[in-house]
């Protein structure tokens, strides 16, 4: 269902009334609809923003298919949408591609995608890459590289609270243990 600028039918939803050129508005309306549990409206808004080439709409549409939110789970479709979003500059899509590879047991590709997302500024991906270094998943084990990535992530004011808590716990687990004699 598309939008025709200047014409609004009474049965159209809020998403359908948005002017075609405003992908940010499609994202905002889709986000609000998803938050309210109206996944059909969210999907339609994200689809329309994606059709305009909006990376954030593509990534969120991919997420709906990735987790089956209001649509059947379709990992292949999610992967294709995440790749399109990535190519348009969405670092979150790279992080989610890494998670798809983790779910499939492809640890090498998982680590590569976490690294790529991290290089685009996603410190959540940096924390995930640190866990790869700690566990030796897709990379050679390296507590030193894990600690370095965790410290960089913790220096960022923009990481969310739960990521900060997780990074701090991982750093604490790397601290040398004092032995009393």
pLDDT tens digit sequence for 73-119: 999 999 999 999 999 999 999 999 999 999 999 999 999 999 999 99
pLDDT recorded at residue 4: 24
Q: How far apart are CA 46 and CA 27, in angstroms?
A: 6
pLDDT recorded at residue 178: 52
Q: How far apart are CA 81 and CA 6, in angstroms?
A: 30
Do 66 and 96 meet the contact criterion of CB atoms below 8 Å apart?
yes
The residues spanned by each domain of the chain are 14-89, 91-175
Fold designation for 91-175: 1.25.40
pLDDT tens digit sequence for 14-54: 554 555 458 889 999 999 999 999 999 999 999 999 999 99
Pick from 23, 21, 48, 45: which is nearest to 33 by CA? 45
CATH code at 14-89: 1.25.40
pLDDT recorded at residue 176: 77
**Are 14-89 and 91-175 the same fold in CATH?**
yes
Q: How far apart are CA 60 and CA 84, in angstroms?
A: 12
Q: Which pTM was predicted? A: 0.82
pLDDT tens digit sequence for 122-179: 999 999 999 999 999 999 999 999 999 999 999 999 899 999 999 999 999 988 755 5
């Amino acid at each position: 269902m598309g939008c025709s600028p200047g014409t609004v039918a009474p049965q159209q939803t809020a998403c359908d009334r948005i002017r075609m050129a405003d992908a940010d508005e499609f994202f905002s309306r889709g986000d609000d609809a998803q938050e309210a549990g109206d996944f059909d409206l969210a999907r339609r808004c994200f689809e329309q923003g994606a059709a305009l080439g909006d990376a954030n709409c593509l990534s969120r549409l991919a997420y709906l298919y990735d987790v089956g939110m209001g649509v059947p789970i379709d990992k292949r479709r999610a992967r294709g949408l995440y790749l399109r979003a990535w190519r348009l500059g969405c670092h979150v899509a790279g992080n989610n591609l890494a998670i798809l590879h983790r779910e499939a047991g492809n640890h090498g590709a998982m680590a590569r995608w976490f690294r790529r997302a991290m290089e685009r500024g996603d410190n959540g991906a940096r924390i995930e890459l640190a866990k790869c270094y700690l566990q030796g998943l897709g990379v050679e084990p390296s507590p030193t590289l894990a600690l370095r990535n965790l410290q960089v992530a913790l220096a960022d004011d923009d990481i969310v609270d739960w990521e900060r808590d997780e990074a701090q716990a991982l750093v604490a687990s790397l601290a040398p243990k004092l032995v009393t004699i």
